[in-house]
Amino acid sequence: MAPPITNRPLRPEVLEAYQQHLHKEAARRSLFGETRPIITTQFQGHNFVVVGNEIHWGKWKTFTDFLVDHLKGALGGDWGNAELAKPLERRHVILQWHAAFATMQARFTPGPDGITSGEPDGPSFAFLSLAYDLYVLKDHVRLRNRLLHRLRDPEDFQGTRYEVYVAAALIRGGFSVEPVDESDGSVRHVDFIATHKATAAQIAVEAKSRRLPGVLGRDGVPPDDGAFRLDIRGLIADAIEKPAALPYAVFVEANMPPAYAVREKERWYQDAAGALKLAEAKANPDGTSSDRRIGLLVVTNVPLHYGEPGQEVPPNEFLILKPDTCARPVDAVLIEAIHRGTHVSHRIPQQELPVVSDSVVP
């Protein structure tokens, strides 16, 4: 028989420790969103890190060290080694970013604890961002092997990387994310169904990334900053064609050169709003709102791949547009959650892992 429960007051030191935990957790969420805290411990000379329903162990000094190993393991050592055997310019974009990350680390001198620290550049931060976004997904969602296969495929990489970014941003905003089964090729599908944990409200989500010559592993010459124009009408029109019974949020990566995105902010805001109106008008020629399908358009610009080695990380930009009328509008509470998750999507925890003693042998 279980002992009776008594309402004894907590000791002051216990209550103080609990309050400190609440404050630390609130501070963590304000920085990194509604992700699970990093679950890690040290035992018998190894660090243990929990990711979803998996336990990983190794001798990492920092969470960054773990992220690098976790990404390599997720993508596969054989695939990574095969890419490393190629000349740098012919490697997959991920391995080019990895080379930039290694070069960045070599620029800094390790401290007395052996930990190297410094400000990353665009390509090295692109590598770390992919590693962290994939960790966030795996920590909250059962990843399908098909997603990892698409990340390894140079042709599918750009679109898949953006899907990973969007899913991780939604998780940061307080959503659970369920990828849609796309095995039936005869029917078009949205990418995710996202459920807002606080309200249980659901939205359908589509993620699309604008492809440009000479960018993210594509052949050709990158667009000249002075001649660049934002044109996302085709991506929006394609998203409209996908059936969505739920309120529908469409994310579009504009892939703009960072200087243009900052300098011409007012212009591309207008271009994005105009593209949404034109695409909706084409899909609804009678002008009624009964079949207007997009309840929210989120235009992002995550230009890390435009960054130069050794230079500052170029800034992210994003714009959220809500149509005036829509058959299934996205609720304001969900819009705020999407805003929050997108706003913190460039942040990566930089904590040290528990100290491992090399003298302890398992």
DSSP letter string, 69-111: HHHHHHH-HHHHHHHHTS-GGGS-HHHHHHHHHHHHHHTS---
- How far is residue 40's CA from residue 57's CA, in Å, rounded to a whole number? 9
Quick one: pLDDT band at residue 267, thresholds 50, 70, 90? very high
- Would you say residue 287 has pLDDT above 70? no
- Would you say residue 7 has pLDDT above 90? no
How much is the mean pLDDT over the chain?
A: 88
User: Number of C-alpha atoms within 13 angstroms, CB side, residue 284?
Assistant: 17
Higher pLDDT, 45 or 306: 306
Tell me, what's the pLDDT at 356?
40
Q: Report the pLDDT averaged over residues 262-273.
A: 94
Tell me, what's the pLDDT at 29?
92
Q: Report the pLDDT averaged over residues 223-234.
A: 87
- Would you say residue 77 has pLDDT above 90? yes
Q: Which range has the worst mean pLDDT, 171-180, 204-213, 225-234, 277-286? A: 277-286
Quick one: pLDDT band at residue 181, thresholds 50, 70, 90? confident
Q: Which range has the worst mean pLDDT, 52-56, 82-86, 184-188? A: 184-188
- Would you say residue 355 has pLDDT above 50? no
- Would you say residue 89 has pLDDT above 70? yes
- Would you say residue 18 has pLDDT above 90? no
Tell me, what's the pLDDT at 121?
92
Quick one: pLDDT band at residue 351, thresholds 50, 70, 90? low
Q: Report the pLDDT averaged over residues 228-235.
A: 92
Question: Strands 294-301, 46-51: parallel, antiparallel or unpaired by DSSP?
Answer: unpaired
pTM: 0.91
DSSP 148-184: HHHHHSHHHHHHHHHHHHHHHHHHHTTEEEEE-----
- Would you say residue 38 has pLDDT above 80? yes
Tell me, what's the pLDDT at 2?
63
- Would you say residue 361 has pLDDT above 90? no
Tell me, what's the pLDDT at 357?
36
Whether residue 310 contacts residue 140, with contact meaning beta carbons closer than 8 Å, is answered with no
Q: Report the pLDDT averaged over residues 16-31.
A: 87
Tell me, what's the pLDDT at 223?
82
In three-state secondary structure terms, 31 is helix
- How far is residue 161's CA from residue 148's CA, in Å, rounded to a whole number? 10
